[in-house]
Amino acid sequence: MKTEVFNNLNSLFLSAAQEVFRAIRLKPNFVLGLAAGKTPVLLYKKLVEMSLAQKFSFSQVTTFNLDEYVGITKDHPESFYKFTQEHLFKFLDFKRTEGLNGAATNFKNECIRYEELVQHSGGLDLQILGIGTNGHIGFNEPGSEKSSRTRLVNLSPETQAKIPHPNFEKTPTQGLTLGISNILESKNIIIIATGATKAEAVKNSFSAIESKNYPASFLQSHPHCTLYLDQDSARLLKV
């Protein structure tokens, strides 16, 4: 795992966007894994700006969203699918944009369907990740096994407390997520953490050995994973 610490957010997200572009240029029929949350918003903004400026086409690129709330449809204003639509899909000409269906009638079948779809697309070439303050990735909460696959999970109280509620009738208590092993199968991974609120999670996940108490720590063993940090999130990291 490679760690890069940046002096400002602009250079961090520029560098991450350049990594995404470089990878897609090498393999146009790229399969890109997308995270939701506040962290990747600036990355997605850069991707949109750069692709418009360079007339770069994503027409052969397929995207897979990492996770989704349970109990809502894709077009719900707070769904992760809607989030990626607002920040990326409505600007870029992706070939296909896939997401887990949080309103499925059978979640087991939905997870199988999604894994098969990833597989038939050739597998993830690059997964973009944020990190929860408790060290989660996707909705792989503390306690998730390294071998975990796509599944229905209960959201931790900490995660539930961070869900913006105005648009929810009832705050989601469960989610669907790619598992740790699905994430580790991605050929490349970019994980981004910014701000002081992530410093503790960064330290716990990347300064000590792998542990299911901090699911992001499992990324340490991935051969092509880059950790993008700003000064605030890297503050407690011992490298």
Q: Which residues are catalytic?
A: 67, 134, 136, 141
Q: Determine if 201 is a binding residue for ligand GLP (CB under 6 A).
A: no
Least CB distance from residue 69 to ligand GLP, whole Å? Answer: 9
Q: Which is nearer to ligand GLP, 61 or 129 (CB)?
A: 129
Binding mask 58-77 for ligand GLP (x = CB under 6 A): --------xx----------
Least CB distance from residue 84 to ligand GLP, whole Å? Answer: 11
Nearest-angstrom CA–CA distance, 139 and 62: 21
Structure tokens at 190: 């970019």
Q: Determine if 39 is a binding residue for ligand GLP (CB under 6 A).
A: yes
How many residues touch ligand GLP under the rule CB under 6 A: the total is 12
DSSP state of 56: -
Nearest-angstrom CA–CA distance, 48 and 55: 10
Q: Side chain identity at 111, as an amino acid letter?
A: C
Q: Determine if 98 is a binding residue for ligand GLP (CB under 6 A).
A: no
User: β-strand 67-69 against 174-177: which pairing, if any?
Assistant: antiparallel
Q: Where are the beta strands (DSSP E) in the chain?
A: 2-6, 31-34, 62-65, 67-69, 96-98, 126-129, 151-154, 174-177, 188-193, 225-230
Q: Determine if 79 is a binding residue for ligand GLP (CB under 6 A).
A: no
Q: Determine if 132 is a binding residue for ligand GLP (CB under 6 A).
A: yes
Question: Using CB under 6 A as the criterion, which residues of the chain lie in contact with ligand GLP when the complex forms?
Answer: 35-39, 66-67, 130, 132, 138-139, 159
